[in-house]
Every structure is written in C-alpha cells, then in structure tokens.
Amino acid sequence: MTTDITTPADAPADRQAVREAVRVDTAPAATAAPAPVDRGGTRTAPATRAHALPTPGADAVPAPGADAVPAAEDPASPGAGRATALSDRTPSRVREVAGAPGRWLRATALRSAALVALLLLWETAPRLGLVDATFLPPVSEVATAWWDLLGNGQLGQHTRASLARSFGGFAIAVVVAVPLGLLIGWYRPVAAFLGPLLEVFRNTAALALLPVFVLLLGIGETSKVSIVVYACLWPVLLNTISAVGNADPTLVRLARSMDLSTPRLFQKVILPSSVPAVFTGIRLAGAVSILVLVAAEMIGAKAGLGYLINASQYNFAIPQMYAGIITISAVGVAFNQLLVTIERRLSTWRVPA
C-alpha cells in the first residue's frame, strides 16, 4: 500500500487548484463573444468570458461584447419601477385635469338651477295669463328697463348714492361695535353695567326710530347714515360679545400661564378664536345696512335705489321698479360674497372639518 504524503509546500497549491475547480463548476455558462477578425481576414477562436463577481464600479462600463441592458429598460432596476409608476399616474392626472371643467359646469348648473327655474316662471307666468302682466311684467321687460336705466346713467347715479350711505354707516358700525364688544365681553363689570341698556335698545327696531332720527337730524344725509349705523351696530356688537365669552378657557389659561399681557392675549388667543362669530355678525350687518337704507331713502331722499323704487311706483313705471329691486339684490349678494372672502383670508389658521 502506497500513501501519498503532501508536503506543506504543496498544500497551498492544491487548495488553490480545488478552489479554481469549484468556481468553474459552479459558475453560470459563459457568454461567448463574437470571434474578432484579425488583419489577415482570418477569424480567431472566440475567447470565453469567465463569470466574475461584481465589483464596485465594474457594472458602470460594460465590457466589449457584453449583452448589457440599459438601467431604464431593466425591469428589475429601481429606476424602472419609478418610471413605470410615473407612467401609470400620468394618464390619471391627465383625466383629472380634463374632467375639472366638467365638474365645475355640473356644480354651477346645480347651484343655478333654482334661480333659472324662478326666471323661467317669472317669464312665462305673465305671458300665460297666470298673473296680471301690468303688476308683474315678464323678466325680459324688466331686463330691458334695467338696461335703459343703465344706459341713461340713472341706475349708476342711484346705486352710487346708496352704496356711499350704506358702506359709510356699515363701516362706522363695525369700527365702533367690535372694540366695544371685546371690552364688554372681557370685563364683567362693564357687561353688568351696560347689560340692561343693551337689552332695551337691541329689541327696538331701527325703522321704528326712523322718525326720531329724521326729527333730530333732518332729512339729509346725516339721518340716513345714522339709521344705518344704529341698525348695523347690534348684530356686530352682540356676536362679538358672544365670541369673547365663548373663547376656549384652556387656551386662555395656557396664555396666562405663559405670562402674556392682556394685549398679547387678545392678539394670540381671543381675536383669532372670535373671527368666525364676529364675521357672522358683520355679514348680518351688511345685509341689514342695505335693507334699512332702502327704507330710509323712501323718505325725503332725492337719490338712491330706495328713491328709484318709490318714484317708479308713484309714476307707475313697474319695470323700472323691479329693475331697482333686482339691483338691490345683486348689490347685497356681491357685498356678502366680499365679506365671505375676507373671512376666509382671516381664518386660514383654522383646520377644515
């Protein structure tokens, strides 16, 4: 029996040979590159490309003859997944943008359906004899009269006079009522002192005091603006008092624990939390300012939408009368929308429900 004894000097060589054999057996099939053609025109034997383990930066530049797949086209690469996701979202985004006008049109049609139905009923009822066309002319005749008043300048003149009185009285009422409401709502002794007086006057209708204002201030502009101020004062004042009283006590205690002064407390806590309720009163006051002014202009005025309506009734110019009424309605809607826009700008801190 013969035993081969491997010397220590030969052992590393044998182990190296074993590792090379195992690597060759376990490696995937090599990709044969096309045989290059030498200068003499003869094709040399193809070289076998061994499978090597990837090294950092090795796959950045593919070897000549390698069947490299671009990263954007490789389904297994992360970039391909992002590109696919973007391509999948692009049609949905396009459909969303394309469908926006349709949704807007549907929403507009839904909101204006009742108004369109009212106009159609107004137009057809007098023509079908359901109502007397003398006292309720069709809306087309009213629109014609409105256009004639606009063309000859009468509508613009009366509208400017009414807006000056209404907005002037409304602005004075807001400037006076908001600070006074904050004062009454914050200091309980002031509220206890002025409470009975407020209860008496807020339950007295503004139009009931119109003869008093005319007797004391005359039939000029002062009495008309004063009655508007009086009518607009109470919605703003009462809503401001309620808003201050309903402020979150937890926030107030936290602000006091941080040693905030009273002006800073109002700036950081009371005023922001009071904006919705205060603007509710301001919007009510905006509507009241126009309604009360129209009634005031019917007594002793020589210009204004109220005067136009009253004069048209006396002269039996019924289409002009309805034109003045529609103008008042349009002014009220526009004024209310303006106040809503201002409220949204001042309430951007609020979290939507």
pLDDT in tens, 146-204: 999 998 888 889 999 888 888 899 999 999 999 898 888 888 888 888 888 888 888 88
pTM of the model: 0.64
Give the end-to-end CA distance of the chain in Å, rounded to a whole number: 95
Residue 58 CB-density burial (10 A; 0-12 exposed, 13-18 middle, 19+ buried): exposed
Query: Which tens digits make up the pLDDT trace of 264-279?
Result: 877 778 888 888 888 8
pLDDT on residue 322: 93
The residue assigned the tokens 């949704």 is: 103
pLDDT on residue 345: 81
CA–CA gap between residue 168 and residue 340 (Å, rounded): 19
Whole-number Cα distances in Å, 61 to 15, 27, 30, 57:
33, 22, 19, 8
Residue 305 contacts residue 346 (beta carbons within 8 Å) = no
pLDDT on residue 97: 58
pLDDT on residue 3: 43
Residue 296 contacts residue 223 (beta carbons within 8 Å) = yes
Q: Which residue type is seen at 26?
A: T
Residues in CB range of 81: below 8 A, 6 or more apart: none
pLDDT on residue 147: 93
pLDDT on residue 133: 87
CA nearest to 239, candidates 296, 286, 290, 169: 286
pLDDT on residue 90: 58
The residue assigned the tokens 């949204």 is: 344
The percent of residues above 70 in pLDDT, for the chain, comes to: 70
- DSSP state, 270? I
Residues of the chain with pLDDT under 50: 1-13, 18, 21-22, 24-73, 75-76, 86, 353
